[in-house]
Every structure is written in C-alpha cells, then in structure tokens.
Copies of this chain bind each other. A is one copy, B any other.
Amino acid sequence: MNEIYVVGMGPGEEKQMTIEAQEVLESCDVIVGYTVYAELMKKMLPEKTYLTTPMRQEAERCRLAFEEAQKGKKVAMVCSGDAGVYGMSGLMLEIGEEYPDCKVKVVSGVTAALAGGAVLGAPLMHDFAVISLSDLLTPWEKIEKRLRMAAAGDFVICLYNPSSKKRADYLKRACTIIQEEIGEERVCGIVSQIGRDGEHAEVMTLSELADRQVDMFTTVFVGNSQTKEIDGRMVTPRGYRI
C-alpha cells in the first residue's frame, strides 16, 4: 500500500506550518500542487521534484499525484491553509477510489480563519460559520441562504474568496444580505496577505465593509451581536465574568 499525503501548508510563512507538515514534506520525493503554492514550496525545499497544474485542473492534479505514488515515489499534494477547508483532501479521497493500492493521509494546517483571526485579535471566540463567496462550484442562491442563516443564528461569520476580477461586487452583495438580518453597525474585520509581506488588518463596521474593495487574498470577518473593538482589535467575548 502506497501512502500519499495531502498537506496543509498554513497561511503563508513557513513557521506557520505544523512540525508534522514540515517533516512529511521533507520526507517526500515529489510535491504536487497548484502552480502558486508549488512555487512557494520550492523556495523552502528546492531539491524536490515538483509537478503542477493550473487552477481548474484539480482532478488532473490529483491523478498526477496518484500516478507518481504508484511508481513507488513518496508524494505530497500541497494546499494553502488546511488541506480540508476548501483544499484538496476531499477530491483526493474521491479520486482515490480509482487507485485502491494508495492510502490517502491528511495532514492539517492552520486555515485563514484561524490565522487571520489571530492577526485581528479574537473574532472567532464563539460559534462561527465559514462561507466561501466563490460561485464557481456553488450556486449563488445557496451561498445567499447560508449567509442569511448564519446571520440569523448570530454566528460570527468568516468569508473566504470574498472577491475576484469577475466577482468584484460579491462582498457588497453578501454584506447587503447580512445587513438585512443584523443591521449595519456590526463590528467587522478584514485581513490581507496573512503571514506574508504586506500583512494588513483593519476593523470596521458592516456598512464600511460593504463599500470596501478587497482582493482574493483577503479574509473577511463579521462579528456576532457581542463582538466589540478593543484597542483596534476585533474581539468576540466568550462570556466569562471579568
């Protein structure tokens, strides 16, 4: 049985990776990934063999990895953040059915909700929902319903993929929906370039967020009814008596 790894690289900096992720990657012969992440890995571990496919060739990327594993190579598929949060572990397990002699092992990493939360302060201290605004693979109506349910349930909301060239107004559309449930004064925050040069965090109201242009390297947080700003940080109290 050939073991094949799906590894979350964490949000950006090498030191935000887990020790296990680092050890697994060091032990591999071949690293497979989306072009951008493979380039990042190459800087850390230049001596490995790298195989890449561009965006939208995710299934091909998985088969590339399994085929190397079948040749007897030790293979890791890398993802940014956590392998299991909008990452590649699901598709690897699905396509893994075609390769019964390979066993997929998932190695977790710190996803942007956690790393971005740490930069902002402590937005996720209570129950939270993570929603991607990308409608490439999900109908917008489904995203809209989830935004409404999360706001109505008073969850802290963390938005992934808040924008792209083709979806420049999606964050505004999301904010408009959320605003109908919870009002425009809610404390929100954005973090961009987490763990990379130019890392930037900002706390603002929901109405300010609605008018904000963000890029695809930004993670967005909408507080719950208790969330507040303390000294420029976004903090959701858990409810302890101080």
Contact = CB atoms under 8 A, between A and B. Distances in A.
A162 to B, nearest CB: 14
Interface string A223-235: 0000000110101
Nearest to A132: B127
A155 interface: yes
A218 B115 CA distance: 24
Interface in A202-242: 230-231, 233, 235-242
Interface residues of A, number: 76
Interface stretch (A8-16, A27-35, A67-75, A172-180): A8-16
Contact of A230 (B20, B93, B117, B137): B93
A108 B108 contact: no
A132 B239 CA distance: 13
A40 interface: no
Contacts of A95: 242
A36 interface: no
Contacts of A150: 129, 149-150, 153, 155
Interface string A90-102: 1111111100000
Contacts of A96: 230-231
A146 interface: yes
13 contacts: A14-B19, A18-B19, A84-B124, A85-B124, A89-B121, A90-B236, A108-B114, A111-B114, A127-B129, A127-B132, A146-B153, A146-B155, A150-B155
Interface of A: 8, 10, 13-20, 22-23, 58-59, 82-87, 89-97, 106-111, 114-115, 117-119, 121-132, 137-138, 142-143, 145-146, 148-150, 152-155, 230-231, 233, 235-242
